[in-house]
Amino acid sequence: MDKVRKILVYVCKDRAAPQRAQFVQSITGHFTDSADDEVEVSCTLEKNQFILYKGDRGQRVPLKRPAFCPIKHLPATEAAAIPQDVQQRGVDVGVAIILQTANQRVLLTRRAKELRIFPNVWVPPGLTHTDLCLRELHEETGLKLEPEQVSPKILGLWEPSLRPSPAEVSACLWADSRLVRAIVSAVDGEDAEVRLDDLPDSISVSQVSADGALTESLMPLAVFISRAPASGPDVERVSTGTKFALELWLRTLDEPDL
């Protein structure tokens, strides 16, 4: 029986052979000679290796890290103290799915409290990454799409019945661009003013009960615009990676239709 394949990140520069990214390596820093936290790279999936590179071939996409990235600020002495097996484990690949409706709303979900694992990419034999994303979407939300219905930007137009899994999702909502702009304006690690655009103090969300039923309730707007604390325990907030994905989605709204 074939084993499940775990996808790791590989990097290459100046036409060199791809090298597996190290756990304590700043991948964004690998492609920039300055302290910039964003750089454009190309990417490809070859032989179970997710390869990031800079070059003339391939579509360029933004690669970004938060200003407070712990690897960026990790002292050499602390990096050396990390166990060797951890240093050599590589960097996993995670995938974020942005699900957009025909009226330009995106689905936001809140992780169930009992969920203790973080997303990464495990590819069962015979499945493509599109298959994997659609399977995860179906497991978490109950939305079922076929591969032929999707493209890299559009996941199809349909009238679905939303059935989030209570084991993975505790609340959800369809967020319009106004709320999303407020979310992404609350940049983690910065103190810039948040763009509220006269949003209400509370946002209507759907709470997911143990049997999967949805109940309307209100969630404070402050949860959506909270930032990662500089120290101490974390707070309930939209994750830094999700904010980046939503920022990229907002950019697509400004692109002309082909």
CB 249 within 8 A of CB 98: yes
- Sign, CA torsion 189/195/196/202: negative
User: Residue 114: its pLDDT value, please?
Assistant: 61
**End-to-end CA gap in the chain:** 45
Residue 72 sits at the vertex; the CA angle it makes with 190 and 14, to the nearest 5 degrees, is 120
User: Residue 125: its pLDDT value, please?
Assistant: 55
Q: Tell me the domains of the chain and their CATH numbers.
A: 5-87 (no CATH), 105-253 (3.90.79)
Q: Which of 49-58, 65-74, 126-135, 224-233 has the lowest mean pLDDT?
A: 126-135
Residue 123's pLDDT band (boundaries 50, 70, 90)? low
Q: Which of 39-43, 89-93, 96-100, 192-196 has the lowest mean pLDDT?
A: 96-100
User: Residue 130: its pLDDT value, please?
Assistant: 74
Percent helix, percent strand, percent coil in the chain, to nearest 5:
20, 25, 55
Residue 207: C-alpha distances to residues 13, 83, 97, 147, 159 (Å): 47, 41, 20, 29, 20
User: Residue 201: its pLDDT value, please?
Assistant: 94
How is residue 150 written in tokens?
Answer: 């999707």
Q: What is the pTM for the complete model shown? A: 0.62
